[in-house]
Every structure is written in C-alpha cells, then in structure tokens.
Structure 1
Amino acid sequence: MTRRIMLVTHPSRPDIPDLVEEFADRLGTHGIEVELAPEGQPTHGSAAELGSTGDLAPTPVDASGCELVVVFGGDGTILRGAEIARPTGTPLLGVNLGRVGFLAEAERDDVDVIVERIVTRDYRIERRMTVDVDVVQDGRIVCSTWALNEASVEKSVRERMLELAVEVDGRPLSTWGCDGVVMATPTGSTAYAFSAGGPIMWPDVEALLLVPISAHALFARPLVLGPQTRLAIEVVPHSYVPGVMWCDGRRSVELPAGARVEVRRSETPVLLARLTQGPFTDRLVAKFGLPVSGWRGPAHGVPGRLKTQVGHDTVAFQDSDRVAGSGGTEETE
C-alpha cells in the first residue's frame, strides 16, 4: 500500500515552491507520495448566513489515508493544518517558517531529519486538548465549531466597550465592560491568552483558561478553571456595541446583543507528531529566548549538567546545549 503525506504550506512565502519540491522528491525516493492541500482562507459568518446548518468551517480537505499532515509555515498555517488533521485523527507535524512557531516541532534546516523520521515512522504522538464552541441566539444554536488554541469574544467596533456577562457551570460570575474575553486551552495559553496577560499552562495540565481583555473592573484577573467546566459568555442586551467570536483567529461569527457563546472541553483532540523528548520548559526557553545563564542544576547532581530521560536511555546535556539546535531541541553529546 502506498504511503501518503499531506502537505500544508504558507500561501505567500517565496521559498515555498523550492521547499515543497525538495521535500516531495526526498520522500518520493522512499516511495512516499506527497499531496499538497489547497489554500484555506479564514471563515466569517453571521447567523443569517449560516442558516439552518450552523456549520462554521472551511472547505473540507480529506486527510484520510494520510499518515501525517506536515505543515510548512508559522503557527497560523499550523492551525490551518489542524483543521485538516483533526477530523480524521491524523497526526500533525509543524515545520516553522515563521517567527516563534510555538506549535512547530522543527525548523526549515531540519528537512533531512524530518524526512528520515517520516520514512522510519520515528516520532511520538502527543494529544492536545481542544474545545467545542456553540453560538446561541434566541434560544437556538446558530453556529457550532471548535478551537485548538482559543475561542475569543471581542468587540466589533473600536469606539465603545463591549458589555459581557461571564457564566461558569451555569452560574453568573461577573459582568465586564471590556474589549473582549479569551477562553483558551493549555496549548493556547502561549498564544492570544498570553498576550492578554494570562499565565502559561504546561500542555499536560487539564484545565481551561479565562482571560479578560482590557476589562474596566476590579475583578478582572485571569482564571484557571477545571477541564470539565462549561463556560459561557453573553453579549448583554444593553451592550453599546455588538461582538464577534473568533476561534484560533481563523473562524468567526458576528454576535449581536443577546448572543451567547458556550465553550466546553471537546472529546476530539488534535494529535501532534513530536520528534524529540525534550521537556516543555526547554521549548519555552528556546521560543521566548529566556535568560538561563547562571543556572547550575540540582545540588546533588554534577554541576552544570542536566539528566533527562529519552526513551529508555539517560542522556546528559551541557548548559550550552539546552537551547541549542533547531527549534530549541537539545543536541546530545
């Protein structure tokens, strides 16, 4: 049976054609076909446009039969890849061509390693929580979608504040005059929620994050909630301006006064293909360029060295190696 990989690329980078050709040729020598996904644009709708289907999703791309969805681009392109990979449970492997690339596992210069790992199927699978999102108007669901990073409710015009009521597990929590609210997963805690002042959650934390955006209120701090929490945000009837709901910055729907957005943990995760066993701490240090000079490690260990488990082998990394290598991955001795 022919092995197939689906490739998702940034739509406008000038280096993409050469990179795609190189990648496809190398995999082709091992009998692996590469299918290039069509470009996907962000989707925007209103209750009237969505009609009775309530479906807020891009044109579907079928990844069934593909063993991986590989993405060349930044986090935005990787989120497009997640839209393709999630319905079929296909693992997603991101190759960063952007700036931070927090969801990416490798960099442009790692193509040789990526090809080798794909050919030998030498990667592990990491499950990332997603959320299901419903938009309710006049007592009926007018839109259903999902998010890997976050669902946000934001004001649609700049002049006035958006009036929002926050509900947690069926009970009112607070009402805010604000620019919006971000409801994020642990994966999304390093994205929009982080920029809005929220904390970073390690990916293995089971939780949801609620972060107000520029709220004019004394009680307006980020909240970490249980994974089974059911969140709801209402645009109160007397709000001076309407809102808009965004999921991962790719899918949006207009929210008139009285509309309600309901968010809950989804049963369908996104599967990320990982090439390294490095801890999330090292990824943070590498992606954010955090200063770690002067750290000497545990007092009972060898000064200046860190031991970590990679598979069944114990490998030591030097201080200088912790943030070295492509994409912040460690280089073994």
Structure 2
Amino acid sequence: MPKQKGMCIAVFAKHGASHKQAIWRGVVDLLLRNGFHVLVADTVLNKARKANTKLDSEAFEFTDIQTIKRKAKAAVIIGGDGTFLGIARELADTQIPLLGINQGRLGFLTDIRLDDIDPTLIETIRGDHVLEGRRYLVGEVLRNGKSIGEHIALNDIVISRGIVGGMIDLRVEVDGKFMYDLRADGLILSTPTGSTAYALSADGPILHPSLAGIVIVPVAPHALTNRPIALPDNCTITITVTGGKQTGVHFDMQFNNRAKAGDQIRVKVSPNPIQLMHPARYDYFAMLRQKLHWSASLTDVAHRTRGLRDSGHAK
C-alpha cells in the first residue's frame, strides 16, 4: 500500500457487515477523495473474508485495533448505539475522538444521518465540530475478596435476576457507608450518557452529559419507596449480592458476569473521559426532542426547515 500523507482516520462498522458493504465503502471512498489516510477495522469482516489475504486495497487497508490505536487521529463508527458502545470501550484507553454515523434505530450516540454523510462528515473531521468528554464506569466483580471479572461501561452496569425468575437481594454502600438493602428485579448504575437508555425506561432521570455524576435506579423494587438517586462521580459504590438465583452483572448489556450470594460489585467512574466528536450544529436538546418525540412549541413550526444538512440531532 502506498504511503499516504493525509490525517489518519479509522472506520468501524458492525461486525460481519459485508452485506452492507456499500455503506462503509461509501464512507471510505468519501474520506479518500478528500485526502485522508484511511484504516478500516478488520472487525467489519466475517471470518471467511478476514482470512482472505487479498483484501487490502491500494487506497486503504484493513487493520487491527492495536494499529488503529497507534495511528488514527479520529474514528468514524457506522452503526447503531450498540456498535458505538462496543468500539468506544475498545478505544477508551486512547484520546481518539469518536464520530458516529447512525445506521441503527434511535441513535443517541451516532449523530450523522445516512442521508447527510456528505458533506457533514468531512466538515466535522476538518474542524467544524464540538468535542465532548464522556465519563464511563469501571466495574469489578469480587468473590471472597478476589476479582473474577472487570469491565467498563459507557452506558450502564446492570445487576439483574436470572431466567429462573424471582427477585434479587442487594446491599448498597457508598464510600463504605450503608445506603439501603434492596429487593427488586435489578439495579441500574448509569452514567449521564446511559441515563437515556435502560435507566430512562426504569423511570430514572435524564442527566445532561456535562454533569459529573452517576445514577442508581432500582428496577421494579419491592418497596416503592426505593427511588432513583444521583451521586457524585468521585464515590465508590459497592453492591453485595445477599440473595437471588443466577444473578447477572451486565456491562452495557454486552459483557456479562454471573454473581452469587456474597459476591460484591464495586463500581467507580473512570477519571479519563472518552472523546466524542459532534458536528458543529449538534444540539443536545434537539436530539432529545427528536429521539424521545417531545413536543415542540408552535413557535418552532416556522423553523422546521432550518439546517437541512444538519445531523439528525440538530433539528
């Protein structure tokens, strides 16, 4: 592959997304036409195509996550929020800004619509953007004082009952101080980013991403007085499993650990944020109006045609 001089951009798409190749190849071709050096994550390929040594193009190359971490100056993620969350976790130990193209449903994290890629994508990467830091959670499952699993989560860590049914019993402590005993279907520990995900469906509050906090939301608590609570982001939350069958600990609903009575789940907020790159027209409240179907006042009607090239979050 010939050496390229432009800024190095990594492109990610959903694993095994070859049947939707036209979309990510279109993004790659657009970046190449505008002088960027493009690396495509080899995770987009299924195993058969990944084994094909003739996949590299003269214009771009397929490569692994470690090479991307060393070389990329920005990452474009094509997919839904699930795809974005998975890639964000993989790049959490870097300062590579992440920019999402929405190929999913709601798309709280993926700003650019498929019909707005050109020219918004190029404008955004070239500097017409807003950078935003999003904190994530670090959760560790302890058994007899020893770690049996540790993962990170940009949205939430969820402790829930198993498939056999029945409630689970949890003891919640904050910085070593007892908060409450909980009997419920589960417990959600959410970042501000995740406050519009599972926590919202469990009647948790929406936290603006600029807030430094973590929300604890009970899921169907037996005592209706167990309500959601927002805590500072510098605390350590420890949940002890005191009862329940097949209790699960889920990280962004993509990594799972089993926990049994006596196990502890220790949760902290990472001090290092993940960098999100938004188009300059990004408007958090407009995003909420669109995704959550909030009503707008009559004075907004006359302005609905503004910003036709804006991202889906800018109207």
TM over 0.5: yes
Distance 1:73 1:23, change over 3 A: same
Question: What pairs with 1:44-55 in structure 2 (closer than 5 Å)?
Answer: none
Question: Shift of residue 255 of structure 1?
Answer: 0.7
Secondary structure of the structure 1 residue equivalent to 2:240: strand
Residue identity in the other structure for 2:275: L
Secondary structure of the structure 2 residue equivalent to 1:106: coil
- Of 79, 85, 93, the residue aligned with 1:79 is 85
Distance 1:109 1:271, change over 3 A: same
CA distance in 2, matches of 1:115, 1:219: 47
Equivalent residue, structure 2, for 1:257: 261
Greater displacement, 122-131 / 182-191:
122-131
Residue identity in the other structure for 2:177: R
CA distance in 1, matches of 2:195, 2:307: 21
Please list the CA deviations of residues 197-252 of structure 1 after superposition, one character each: whole Å capped at 9, or x if unmatched.
Answer: 1010111111110001111113311111112121111111xx13131111111111
- Of 160, 167, 171, the residue aligned with 2:177 is 171
Asked if the contact 2:155/2:194 (under 8 Å) is kept, the reply is yes
Please list the CA deviations of residues 148-192 of structure 1 after superposition, one character each: whole Å capped at 9, or x if unmatched.
Answer: 111111112242111111112211211122111000011110011
Identity %: 29
Equivalent residue, structure 2, for 1:293: 297
Asked if the contact 2:134/2:274 (under 8 Å) is kept, the reply is yes
Secondary structure of the structure 2 residue equivalent to 1:327: coil
Equivalent residue, structure 1, for 2:100: 94
CA distance in 2, matches of 1:150, 1:240: 21
The question of 1:159 aligning with 2:165 is answered: yes
Distance 1:148 1:125, change over 3 A: same
Residue identity in the other structure for 1:270: I
The question of 1:201 aligning with 2:186 is answered: no
Which sections of structure 2, spanning at least 5 residues, go unmatched?
45-63
CA distance in 1, matches of 2:30, 2:306: 30
Question: Shift of residue 122 of structure 1?
Answer: 2.8
Question: Shift of residue 80 of structure 1?
Answer: 1.5
Question: What pairs with 1:20-39 in structure 2 (closer than 5 Å)?
Answer: 20-39=24-43
Secondary structure of the structure 2 residue equivalent to 1:90: coil
Distance 1:274 1:118, change over 3 A: closer
Asked if the contact 2:16/2:43 (under 8 Å) is kept, the reply is no
Question: What pairs with 1:232-251 in structure 2 (closer than 5 Å)?
Answer: 232-236=238-242, 239-251=243-255
- Structure with more helix by fraction: 2
- Of 120, 128, 140, the residue aligned with 1:134 is 140
Question: Shift of residue 31 of structure 1?
Answer: 2.9
Asked if the contact 1:162/1:180 (under 8 Å) is kept, the reply is yes
Equivalent residue, structure 2, for 1:216: 222
Moved over 6 A (4+): none
Please give the TM-score of this superposition, normalised by the length of structure 2. 0.85
CA distance in 2, matches of 1:163, 1:322: 51
The question of 1:148 aligning with 2:157 is answered: no
Please give the TM-score of this superposition, normalised by the length of structure 1. 0.80
Residue identity in the other structure for 2:77: V
CA distance in 2, matches of 1:240, 1:320: 51
Residue identity in the other structure for 1:274: H
Which sections of structure 1, spanning at least 5 residues, go unmatched?
41-58, 297-303, 306-317
CA distance in 2, matches of 1:25, 1:14: 16
CA distance in 1, matches of 2:125, 2:106: 27
Secondary structure of the structure 1 residue equivalent to 2:42: coil
Asked if the contact 1:232/1:263 (under 8 Å) is kept, the reply is yes
Question: Shift of residue 277 of structure 1?
Answer: 4.3
Residue identity in the other structure for 2:295: P
- Of 11, 15, 35, the residue aligned with 1:11 is 15
Equivalent residue, structure 2, for 1:320: 304
Question: Shift of residue 143 of structure 1?
Answer: 2.0
Question: Shift of residue 193 of structure 1?
Answer: 0.6
Equivalent residue, structure 1, for 2:195: 189
Asked if the contact 2:89/2:154 (under 8 Å) is kept, the reply is no
Equivalent residue, structure 1, for 2:277: 273
Distance 1:186 1:240, change over 3 A: closer
CA-atom RMSD in angstroms:
2.3
Equivalent residue, structure 1, for 2:48: none
Aligned length: 290
Question: Shift of residue 321 of structure 1?
Answer: 4.5
